[in-house]
Chain A
Amino acid sequence: MSVIEARDLRRSYRTRTGLWKREKKVVEAVRGVSFAVEQGELFGLLGPNAAGKTTTIKMLITLLLPTSGSASVLGHDVVDDAREVRRHIGYVFGGDRGLYERLNALDNLRYFAELYGVPAREQKQRIGALLELVGLTGREKERTEGFSRGMRQRLHIARGLLHDPEVLFLDEPTIGIDPVGARELRATIGTLKGQGKTILLTTHYMFEADELCDRIAVIRAGELVAEGTPATLKQRVTGGHVMEVETFGMPESAVAAVRSLAGVSTAAVEERGQAQVLLVQVGPGAEVTSAVLGCLGGVNVGRVSSREPTLEDAYVELVSGQ
């Protein structure tokens, strides 16, 4: 039996627009997602904004009811056996919210320890160990309103682990954290994996997924478009290479022209400061440099380089639907 199982999960939202003549609209956020996560596995759910990652997680942690389909965690159905699911899972999300600002870190943890039924005699030792794990020892008496985003995020992790859950759901835990803080957080996640926790992680950062995840599922517009190990996903774009062209003032028509060239698998533009970098995935054996530069007539071109494909390239190919 898999630890987490999602079977054809679907979730739609109803929205209304207009003031006088209100129109109802149904948005399908998740459209038939199925996957399974095994014991001790770190499973990544990747996708762009509004792809349905958080909605999927919220159905699995019992905060949302699926419109159809089913899911279970440790064999407990997320709809019919919600309380049992909640007992065994920890949930951590990224961002500034989710803490009682007027309480100190210790009281925040004490409160949730009570809600999760951690016995009073174990609380002190457990909270102390978790503060140590997330590097907040010595700061526990400070009110969280003065905490930096990184400290808040570490406190969130500690909160999610208070009841020593078997399964952890981490929804973009490193979002908005500085590189050093994010690296420490990734190390903490790695430690948890080492302890045998089953983890479902959503993230935008490909290197993070590449570094941490055993398997990855890519979600686009509510549907899974690929699933496999990071190496398997990378293989989708290996065999060729990626050409990067730094441009300034790149028109969409030029990108379309590049896409239509023979030997070009995909082409996408990435903003990097003042420049727009054209990322061209080139098929095996193809030589397209002159042809690509020919499509950019009139565009200011900077550095041109070529490199091996990364997981990010695979991701871009998958989520751009080409």
Chain B
Amino acid sequence: MLVISWWLHLKMLAVSAFEGVFQVIWPLFFATTAFLVYRQADDPQVMVYAGLGAAVMGIWSVIATTASGVLQRERWLGTLELLVASPTRFALILVPITTAMATLGLYSLGSTLLWGWLLFDISVPVADPFLFVVSVVASILSIALIGFLLSVSVVRYRTAWALGNLLEYPGWLLCGFLVPLTLFPTWAAWISYVLPPTWGMEAIRLSASGDSPWAQVLVCLGLGIVYGAVGALLSETVLRSARRHATLSLT
């Protein structure tokens, strides 16, 4: 069920020209800004740092903003009630939807790396391709689980989709995509440590430079699972609240 649902939702997202453009081009604007800023340092290592950071930043942006809007789209289509009326647990219905979005986030990763290479001559050396891929997959999965948690809230609150937009820019900073966490005050660093993409980003950088990323990958996945578990537990409560307050069919 999970695989076929994921595939069908991916199919729906992939056939939309608008979303295709959104996934590929939109992150490039922010990546370009970052590249132009970091180019001033005139240090190739800094550009590699920015190249990797901008690539993951794109995935975060795509998932944070669209995952929270995904159930709103189901509302507009009139399918949300049909999903709820099915006997499958609501959490199991949502996971493939957000995972399909995360998979699409791979587009933005690829396009950002290609953009950096073509226009800014940023060549990202990947010392261990296997561990690099493991780190990227772990990051995407954990970001998808954050997206799952965000999407759960939209079941009850129709305007909760705006939450994704609200979290987008703080996420860029707190996950260390473009700014090292050591520059933040201690209290802010603690917030960063409970965000899975912080560890995913670190794992990607370590694997690219040839260091072992396993500890970071495990923490990233572990935190992602915690977010997913919280979302799964919340989903039944939130769904019951939506049935009580009759918000499932409201657009």
- Name the residue on A nearest B76 (C-beta): A97
B88 touches A117 (CB 8 A): yes
B84 touches A63 (CB 8 A): yes
B residues whose Cβ falls under 8 Å from a Cβ of A: 1, 4-5, 8, 11-12, 15-16, 77-79, 81-88, 93, 240, 243-246, 248-249
Q: For the complex, is A99 an interface residue (Cβ under 8 Å from B)?
A: yes
A114 touches B87 (CB 8 A): no
Given contacts A86-B87, A102-B16, A103-B12, A97 and B78 within 8 Å (CB-CB): yes
A114 touches B5 (CB 8 A): yes
A107 touches B11 (CB 8 A): yes
Q: Which of B12, B82, B240 has the most CB of A within 10 A?
A: B82
A residues whose Cβ falls under 8 Å from a Cβ of B: 13-14, 58, 61-65, 83-84, 86-87, 91, 95-103, 107, 110-112, 114-117, 159
Pick from B81, B86, B240, B245: contact of A112, CB under 8 Å: B86
A116 touches B244 (CB 8 A): no
> Given the complex of chains A and B, what is the CA–CA distance between A98 and B249 in angstroms?
11
Pick from A87, A98, A115, A116: contact of B78, CB under 8 Å: A98
For this complex, 5 residue pairs linking A to B, each with C-beta atoms less than 8 Å apart, are: A84-B87, A96-B78, A100-B8, A101-B77, A102-B11
Tell me what chain B mostly uses at the interface: helix, strand, loop, or mixed: helix
Identify 14 new A-B residue pairs, CB closer than 8 A, beyond the known A83-B87, A117-B87. A58-B249, A63-B81, A64-B246, A65-B240, A65-B244, A86-B86, A97-B77, A98-B82, A114-B1, A115-B83, A115-B86, A115-B88, A116-B86, A159-B82
B248 touches A103 (CB 8 A): no
A115 touches B8 (CB 8 A): no
> Given the complex of chains A and B, what is the CA–CA distance between A154 and B246 in angstroms?
27
- Name the residue on A nearest B89 (C-beta): A83
Shortest CB distance B234–A (Å): 17
The 5 closest A-B pairs by CB, nearest first: A97-B78, A115-B86, A98-B78, A86-B87, A87-B87
List the B side residues contacting A116 at CB < 8 Å: 86-88
List the A side residues contacting B245 at CB < 8 Å: 14
Given contacts A13-B246, A111-B4, A63 and B85 within 8 Å (CB-CB): yes
A99 touches B248 (CB 8 A): no
